[in-house]
C-alpha cells in the first residue's frame, strides 16, 4: 500500500497514515515566531508610566496646606469684619439718635458720618475677604495678586494700629490682623504654583 509521494507538501505528513486528523508539530524553542512572555512588557516601544489624575506633572493636584490655611483665615477675617462693620454702624446711629435727642444733632453729624463710613468700609472688606477665599479654588494669578495687595495693606494698617493703639484694644486688634496678614501674604508668596497651574 502506498501513502503517496513523501516529498509532496500537500500530502499527509510522513509517519501519519491517511484518514487521521493532522497533528500540530511539536513546539520547540528556537523555531517559528518569537512569542512575548505573558504579563511582561515585551517588544516594541517601552511602556509609558501611568498618567496621574489631576493637572499633570509638577503641578499640585490639591490645594497646598498653607494656601488652605490662608483661605480659612480669610473666611474668619470676613466674619470679624462684617461683625465690626455692623457694630460700628449701629453705634454711629445710636450716637446720632442720642445727640438729636439733646438738640445737638448738627454738631455730631460729621462724627456719625465718619463712623457709618468706617462701618461700610468694614462691610466691603468683609465681602472682599469672602470673594477672595471662594476664588482660591478656581482663581488664577489675578486672585493671587489681589490677595497679596490686600494682605500687604492689612499688614500696614495693623502696624499703624499697634503704634497708635497705646496698648489698648487698637494694639490687640493690630496684632491679630498683623498675624492674619502675615500668614496670608506668606501663603500667596509660596503658593504661586497653585494659582499658575494649567486649567483644562
Say if CB 178 and CB 39 are below 8 A apart. no
Domain contains 140: yes
- Mean pLDDT for 14-29 is 58
Each residue of 149-191: pLDDT tens digit? 999 999 998 898 888 866 677 778 888 889 999 999 999 998 8
Kindly state the cell numbers that stand for 121: 468700609
Is 46 domain-assigned?
no
121 vs 137: CA distance, rounded Å: 26
Q: Please say whether the beta carbons of 108 and 99 come within 8 A.
A: yes
- Residue ranges making up the domain that contains 147: 65-195
pTM passes above 0.85? no
Whether residue 53 is contained in a domain is answered as no
- Please give the tally of structural domains in the chain: 1
Per-residue HEC secondary structure of 102-160 comes to CCCCCCCHHHHHHHHHHHHHHHHHHHHHHHHHHHCCCCCHHHHHHHHHHHHHHHHHHHH
Report if residue 145 sits inside a domain.
yes
Give tens-digit pLDDT for 88-116.
Answer: 888 888 887 777 777 665 666 777 788 88
Amino acid at each position: 500500500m502506498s501513502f503517496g509521494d513523501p516529498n509532496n507538501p500537500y500530502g499527509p505528513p510522513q509517519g501519519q497514515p491517511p484518514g487521521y486528523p493532522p497533528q500540530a508539530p511539536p513546539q520547540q524553542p528556537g523555531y517559528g515566531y518569537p512569542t512575548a512572555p505573558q504579563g511582561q512588557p515585551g517588544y516594541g516601544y517601552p511602556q509609558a508610566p501611568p498618567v496621574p489624575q489631576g493637572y499633570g506633572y509638577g503641578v499640585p493636584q490639591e490645594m497646598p496646606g498653607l494656601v488652605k490655611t490662608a483661605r480659612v483665615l480669610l473666611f474668619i477675617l470676613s466674619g470679624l469684619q462684617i461683625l465690626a462693620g455692623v457694630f460700628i454702624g449701629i453705634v454711629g446711629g445710636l450716637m446720632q439718635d442720642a445727640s438729636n435727642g439733646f438738640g445737638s444733632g448738627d454738631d455730631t453729624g460729621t462724627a456719625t458720618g465718619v463712623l457709618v463710613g468706617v462701618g461700610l468700609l468694614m462691610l466691603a472688606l468683609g465681602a472682599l475677604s469672602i470673594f477672595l477665599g471662594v476664588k482660591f479654588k478656581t482663581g488664577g494669578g489675578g486672585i493671587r495678586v489681589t490677595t497679596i495687595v490686600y494682605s500687604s495693606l492689612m499688614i500696614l494698617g495693623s502696624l499703624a494700629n499697634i503704634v497708635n493703639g497705646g496698648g489698648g484694644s487698637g494694639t490687640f486688634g493690630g496684632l491679630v490682623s498683623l498675624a492674619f496678614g502675615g500668614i496670608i501674604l506668606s501663603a500667596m508668596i509660596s503658593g504661586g504654583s497653585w494659582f499658575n497651574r494649567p486649567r483644562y
